[in-house]
Amino acid sequence: MQPNDISPFIKATKSVFDTMLRLPVSFGKPTLGQSNIPKDWHVTGIIGLSGDLVGAVAVMFPRLTAKACVEALAGMEVDFESEMFADAIGELANMISGAAKAQYDGKDISISCPSVIVGSGNTFHSHSNTHTVCIPCDADGSSFCIVVSLQNVVASESKVAA
């Protein structure tokens, strides 16, 4: 995975948080590998990717950060256990993935409908052929992370053809 494979997700996250949540977001140093993904998440929104890039993107939150983000998006208090809460997390993952997808010029990429996992201690595991990067994020003092796990199919097919 190249840095230009994850920069669309950083730009997309910043854009979504700036425009839709009106929360400033900053980014820590991305780390490579699944073992670097923290294990203390309560809410995860996941989007699958297919086409020229295959894999998944996960937006992983501690409970309080997820609640603050959902309420910023909804503009009102939202119960953590409600269907609306899970829908909002899925929509955040969808907006970030969709905005990132738009930045991959010349690549044919499809994104799935979002899946949301709510429950303490959920972890992210990806296929062994993918490269996984955890991007630590901070939104107004609350941490979360974006996990990008991709296999560049076009590059893989080029190596096979050579």
The total number of structural domains in the chain stands at: 1
What pLDDT does residue 66 have?
93
64 by DSSP, 3-state: which?
helix
Domain carrying residue 102: 3-153
Q: Is 122 left (phi over 0), alpha (psi -120 to 50) or beta?
A: beta
In a domain, 162, yes or no: no
How far apart, in whole angstroms, are the C-alpha atoms of residue 158 and residue 140? Answer: 43
In a domain, 146, yes or no: yes
Q: Which two tokens stand for residue 59?
A: 């937006």
Its pTM stands at 0.85
In a domain, 91, yes or no: yes
* Mean of per-residue pLDDT scores for the chain: 85
Residues of the chain with pLDDT under 70: 1-4, 34-39, 121-129, 152-162
Q: Enter the DSSP assignment of 74.
A: H
Q: Which two tokens stand for residue 135?
A: 């991007």
